[in-house]
Chains A and B, each alone.
Chain A
Amino acid sequence: MLKKKINEPIELSAEPETEIDMNDASLFEFQRADDAASEHIAAPKYSYWGSVFRRFFSNKIAVLMLIISVTMVLFAFIQPSISHYDHMVAPNINNSKMHFLKPFTNGYIFGTDNRGNSLFDSLWSGTKNSLIVALSATFFSEFIGIVIGMFWGFSKKMDAIMIEIYNVLSNIPTTLIAMILVYAMGGGFKQLIFALCVTSWIGTAYFIRVQVMIIRDREYNLASQCLGTPLWKIIVNNILPYLVSVIITSVSRDVPMFISYEVALSYMGIGLSEKFASLGKLIQQYSPYMLTEPYLFWIPVVASAVISVSLYLVGQALADASDPRTHMI
């Protein structure tokens, strides 16, 4: 049956004058598979960071948020050095005509406050100080957390001790510890940053420990052990690159968290010392005028919200982009 079916079209086409002899060996030639050619990879070269940035910049909201946060950060760090704003100096304090000017009057973009100081100047100076606190607290707590978390995930002996420390520390409210420490040590940048980091690193360390335990026993780590790779090299080359995305997620969570901690502590009057403006201090200082002069209260609140949200969204988008599973389309 099958043979007949195959033969049929040949018989039909063989009708014309040229008849093809299918058994003629001269019509055929050998095709050899080229081993070397089949090894060749046709796909373009893959670059991890190249793909991360391509992915990130294809997200329009993320780019918008990046522009907003970069502008705010640059403004916060450049504007105070032009205005030379000093929170302790209030030249117009006795000139009541200069108090409570509405925004956009007499060249004061955000108006003036109860002491006759420009809100625009104090806002950026406050933003700068808040950012310094939040960014350094994030840096120290992430750095300590990652380094300790990496070894914690690997060592069973360390795990037994660290898990107890974690159970104790994580059950004490961070705000309470920060309050007590700031009271005890006095207000100031170093003290506040120390108070914020002193317990928060263990949360990061625990998070990293769990991530390390997930990928610790994968076969490629055994393979590295078979090749005699020391532990620190395994951590740097085999574990850390896999955690880029979760670390960025954790950082993008920490920065807004520390900004709001600073705001909360300053609002309670225990943040930075009186010498420095900060977002929390401004909000606290202007909260009595919430109903009479609402712009004084709302502008610092909105500024703190915008910078937190934009930094958070940028971090989340970057974390998504740095996950290689999103690179394949």
Chain B
Amino acid sequence: MEKDNREVLLDVKRLEVTFNNSRKNKGFRAVKNANFQIYKGETFGLVGESGSGKTTIGRSIMRLNPISDGEIWFEGKRIDGKISKEEKKNVVRNIQMIFQDPAASLNERATIDYCVSEGLYNFHLYENEEDRERKVDEALESVGLLPEHKSRYPHEFSGGQRQRVGIARAMIMEPKFIIADEPISALDVSIRAQVLNLMNKFKEERGLTYMFIAHDLSVVRYFADRIAVIHNGRIVEVAPTEVLFKYPLHPYTLSLLQAVPMPDPQIEKAKELVVYDESKRDLSGEKPILQEIRPGHQVFANDREMKEYEEKLSQMEKEAEKE
């Protein structure tokens, strides 16, 4: 859409991540030729089933997984591979991560005070001890925790509180970009909204950019501005949220959208599930690539499939106009 006047914050080009288990075979390619841009101030959703490579992409951006090919650019600077200490510091300060399991991602043997101020200690982001305490208090307060919690250990908290500690720990670094790796999957349904609202609050207050990794489409629909669907390490479709839900093109996106349970037993019972099976698809023609079918709407296809999608899309658009 108004793509050109928006500033690209993160640019991932031809990203490829390979895990080598043995020297004999080539290794497992977890992410294959992934291309996407994340614009400043938006929430970019990354959806796919388990093992599709969502988390691997997030961790590669965080420099936790080495990449085997491609480039990752953040604010016009390349951040993958070997970079200087100064640049590493810059990456850590500006990109932070919220983890899936709040119980596993906090050090059980450290107090909340240490957990939250770990980043401050590493970069000495405080003037004196008083300043550090003030910052920790502010961070805890901003996520709705009390200063008295500082001397507590993570196991004393509930799941929602622990996840908020995780958010406070990331926010205290004052990052520009946050990778949220399924931040609410491990939480009780009753407190999911609390964490999402908190993340929305920070987005508005600080103009943050999120990359939201999830497998729950209903949450992504509520939270994300743009969605990329990933299947088997490949990004198969990228589109603004409403466009994707209205005009899903790739068969995998279609079956993924269908899998969302409807809160109506009658509809749910009558629903005919289409299971995506790549072996039954017509894969003839040249190798497919991610190409733009409408401005801002990209789909993974070759020229033959493009024509089919074009037909399908124009038909869907006509139907939408009638209504």
A interface vs B, CB < 8 Å?
Answer: 35-36, 39-41, 43, 45-46, 48, 218-220, 222-230, 233, 237-238, 241-242, 324
Contacts and interface: CB of A to CB of B under 8 A. Distances in A.
A39 B144 contact: yes
Given A39-B145, A41-B152, A45-B151, A220 B104 contact: yes
B144 A218 contact: no
Interface in B89-136: 89, 92-93, 96-97, 99-101, 104-110, 114, 118-119, 122-123
B64 A45 contact: no
A233 B114 CA distance: 12
B89 A228 contact: yes
B19 interface: no
B156 A46 contact: yes
Given A45-B152, A227-B173, 18 more contacts: A36-B146, A39-B149, A39-B161, A219-B100, A219-B101, A219-B105, A220-B107, A222-B64, A222-B99, A224-B107, A225-B64, A226-B92, A228-B88, A228-B119, A229-B118, A238-B107, A241-B109, A324-B109
Given A35-B144, A41-B156, A45-B152, A226 B107 contact: no
A225 B93 CA distance: 12
B153 interface: yes
A156 to B, nearest CB: 12
A191 B148 CA distance: 54
Given A35-B144, A39-B146, A219-B99, A46 B153 contact: yes
7 contacts: A41-B152, A48-B109, A226-B64, A226-B97, A227-B96, A228-B88, A238-B109
Contact of B106 (A220, A229, A242): A220
A325 to B, nearest CB: 11
B128 to A, nearest CB: 20
Nearest to A226: B97
A205 B146 CA distance: 42
A283 to B, nearest CB: 44
Interface in B160-193: 161, 166, 169, 173
Contacts, number: 80
B109 A242 contact: yes
A3 B104 CA distance: 47
Nearest to A39: B146
B23 to A, nearest CB: 13
B62 interface: yes
A194 to B, nearest CB: 35
A220 B155 CA distance: 13
B59 to A, nearest CB: 8
Nearest to B145: A39
Nearest to A242: B109
Contacts of A324: 108-109
A35 B198 CA distance: 14
User: Considering residues B93, B106, B109, which has the most beta carbons from chain A within 10 angstroms of its beta carbon?
Assistant: B109
A128 B14 CA distance: 69
Contacts of A218: 104
Contacts of B166: 223
User: Considering residues A45, A220, A229, A233, which has the most beta carbons from chain B within 10 angstroms of its beta carbon?
Assistant: A220
A40 B110 contact: no
B28 interface: no
A139 B106 CA distance: 32
Contacts of B114: 237
B156 A43 contact: yes
B322 to A, nearest CB: 46
B276 interface: no
Contacts of B89: 228
User: Considering residues A223, A230, A233, which has the most beta carbons from chain B within 10 angstroms of its beta carbon?
Assistant: A223
Contact of A223 (B93, B99, B151): B99
A219 B64 CA distance: 11
Interface string B132-143: 000000000000
Contacts of A45: 151-152
A83 B146 CA distance: 62
A36 B89 CA distance: 36
A20 to B, nearest CB: 33
A237 B156 contact: no
Contact of A227 (B59, B118, B151, B155): B118
A20 B152 CA distance: 49
Contacts of A227: 92, 96, 118-119, 122, 169, 173
Give me the 8 closest cross-chain CB pairs, A-B, nearest first: A241-B109, A228-B92, A227-B119, A219-B104, A219-B105, A228-B122, A223-B105, A220-B107
B106 A223 contact: yes
B73 to A, nearest CB: 19
A285 B123 CA distance: 63
A31 B299 CA distance: 52
A224 B114 CA distance: 11
A225 B88 CA distance: 11
Contact of A46 (B107, B146, B148, B152): B152
Nearest to A40: B146
B195 to A, nearest CB: 14
A238 B149 CA distance: 20
B123 A228 contact: yes
Contacts of A238: 107, 109-110
Contacts of B101: 219
Interface in B280-294: none
A237 B110 contact: yes
Contacts of A228: 88-89, 92-93, 119, 122-123
Given A219-B99, A220-B106, A223-B99, A230 B146 contact: no
